[in-house]
Structure formats: C-alpha cells, structure tokens
A and B are shown apart, each in its own frame.
Chain A
Amino acid sequence: MLSLDSRLRVPAHVVFSKVADASVLLNTKTRKYYALDEVGVGFWDALNSGVGFRKAYEIILGDYDVTPAQLESDLLELVQHLTDAGLVEFDKE
C-alpha cells in the first residue's frame, strides 16, 4: 500500500526538462509527455536527489503553507498518478 514510507525511484526511461516553474516529463516507453506544476517540480527534485518520499514530503511541508494532512493526501495522489503513468516505480530492494 502506498504511504510516505514507500520507497520510490525514477526509472531510466523517464526524462524531464525544467521550463520556468514547471517541468515536462517524458516517458520514452509510452512516448507520452506530462507536466508538473511548481509543487510537483519541488517534489520531483527532492525525489530525484534520493532523499526518499517522507523526506521529500517534509521538505515541501517546510516550503509551503499547507497542513500536513492535506500535503500527505495531495502527494499520495500525485505519486499514484506518477506510478500509473510509469514515471515513478516502487523500489523493491
């Protein structure tokens, strides 16, 4: 079950490019493009730096005026979308 303690990783077939405050993600397997907004980019950067889901959550919580419960709910929803799109995978190691 997806939680803040889930171990996530960005697979090699995902490419991303920053454009101002947003970013565009490409899944080269499906050849589909996706956009992330500013908060999504912050989460993506944190995740890419290898800090883990919970730490990424804590970083964003410190940066934005949002309640912990609301942020957790939003991030879980975001990660669900990202995994559905093949942009993030669960790290089973």
Chain B
Amino acid sequence: MFEASSGIGMVDGELDVFQNPGFVSSVEGWVAGFQRGVEVYGGAGDYLLKIEDCGEYYIAHYGESIGKWNRPRELSRLDWEILLGPVIVFALALRNVWSLHASAARYDQKMIGFLGESGMGKSTLAAYLSQNMGWRLVADDILPVTGHPNGLTAHPHFPQLKLSPAAQPGADLPGHLPLDMIFELTPASSDVFPEFKQLPLEQAVRVLLSHTAGTRLFDDTLLEAHLAFCAQAVKSTPVYQLKYPHSRDALPKVKDMLESLC
C-alpha cells in the first residue's frame, strides 16, 4: 500500500476535479522546506493540491492514486518530497488512514508512539530507545494508523522523509503492526524526575486531533471522519502524557519507565 512506485503518477481518463473544481481550503504551511501556500480543490473523490512555487498534484479516486498534474517525464526531488509528504498524507486520510505526527519504537512486541510538535524530542527519544537492547525503531516522524474496534494498527512501511532510504526503520518490519500505547511528550525543567500519567479520554482525543498531519487541508467530510477516528481510538489505546527534561541524563530513566509498562 505504501510502495512509492505503486499508484504514483498513474491516472486513467479525466479527473472530475478538473471539470468541476470546488474550492476546499487554502492554508499556509511548511512544505518541502519552505512556508508555502496550498490550495485544495475537490470534486467527486478527486482532489487537486496547488502548492505555491511547486506545481499541481492530484489525488484520484478517493486516494487510489496520486501524481503530479501535467507531470513531467521525470519527477524532481521536490515533487517526490511533496508527493510523499502532504499529498500522500491527504490521500491516506481519504482511505481512513491517519498520519500521526509521531515517532515510534517497539519493545517486547509492544509498539509505542511518541507524539509531539517539532522540537519536543520525539525523534531523539525513539532513536535513543532503539540503541538499547530489545528496542527497535519503527518511525521517525510520521506514523500512519488505522482504527478498528479493538485498537490501532500502524503501518511501519511509510517512508520517513527525514531519513535516508538506507535508514528507513520500518522497511523490514511487517506492513501492519498493532500500536499499543501513545505518549504525548511534554518538556519539563531539569530538576523534574520523568513522570507520566494516563490522560482522560476527552484530553486524549484532543492530543490525537492536534497531532495528526495534514488536517488543515481536510474538507468537512474528512474532518468529521477524523474526529470519529480519534474518539474511537482513545477507547482502545491508552494515551499518556510523558513529562521529562530534555537532557541525555533523563533518557535512561524514561527507557526504564517505558519498559516497565510493556
């Protein structure tokens, strides 16, 4: 489902969005290294993302395929970055796969997702954990998940754009794995001992809502589906707040704490 070659750059026939384009949203966001304006147009399951200074990218048939409109013979590096960034995140959402802004690591058959804004230490923590015996890095920045009544399933094959192709952590993991718990990372002053607490469901929903990538591009239908997903997800998957000082000294204590939960 997430192979870069499948479904990219292939579309048959005309897309309805180009016959009857309907404006969906317009946002400014961090795309491919710069703040850029993004306009979304949609119609009958097809979408067009117009990205400032980059071009137009389509999502066809409710996310079955994505590509660059009026595509050149060869996609540039920038095109790939956009296709494997906002475009695929949007396409997956159309298929009820929600891309958490998260790193993830696995210990003793349990997968833990770490949510947080950039700079909150989620990559650092997951990378640190993976250097320890029994731990395995799963995702560095984006973790796509699907919900079902019994829990969440993560898709570790999603390309992690901040890592080189050779360093993709999920490449040799199964395509689908359960996501057992989620931690929202919160900074603390250096004198605080790492601590965590399970969040009440309403707060847990807010955490998932605010740490899903691409939501600013969503139309009303996707926003509604996303809210339903978050409300369902927290019923089966515990969400914790993890408070710890962002120093190397704190990481071993966090590791011990997490291992005791697994």
Contact = CB atoms under 8 A, between A and B. Distances in A.
Interface of A: 13, 15, 17-20, 22-24, 26, 28, 31, 33, 35
Interface stretch (B95-103, B148-156, B216-224): B216-224
Contact of A19 (B216, B220, B223, B231): B231
B227 interface: yes
B202 A31 contact: no
26 contacts: A13-B220, A15-B220, A15-B224, A17-B227, A18-B231, A19-B205, A19-B234, A19-B235, A20-B200, A20-B201, A20-B202, A20-B235, A23-B202, A24-B205, A24-B206, A24-B209, A26-B223, A26-B224, A26-B227, A28-B220, A28-B223, A31-B216, A33-B206, A33-B209, A35-B202, A35-B206
Nearest to B222: A28
Interface in B211-242: 215-216, 220, 223-224, 227-228, 230-231, 234-235
Nearest to A36: B202
Interface footprint category on B: 10 to 19
- Mostly, the B contact residues are helix
- Mostly, the A contact residues are strand
A42 to B, nearest CB: 15
Contacts of A17: 205, 227-228, 230-231
Interface of B: 200-202, 204-206, 209, 215-216, 220, 223-224, 227-228, 230-231, 234-235
A57 B230 CA distance: 30
Name which of A17, A19, A28 has the most chain B CB atoms within 10 A of its CB.
A19
A28 B224 contact: yes
B237 to A, nearest CB: 13
A46 B227 CA distance: 22
Contacts of A31: 215-216, 223
Name which of B204, B223, B230, B234 has the most chain A CB atoms within 10 A of its CB.
B223
Nearest to B231: A17
A53 to B, nearest CB: 25
Given A19-B231, A19-B235, 5 more contacts: A17-B227, A17-B228, A22-B200, A24-B209, A24-B227
A26 B230 CA distance: 12
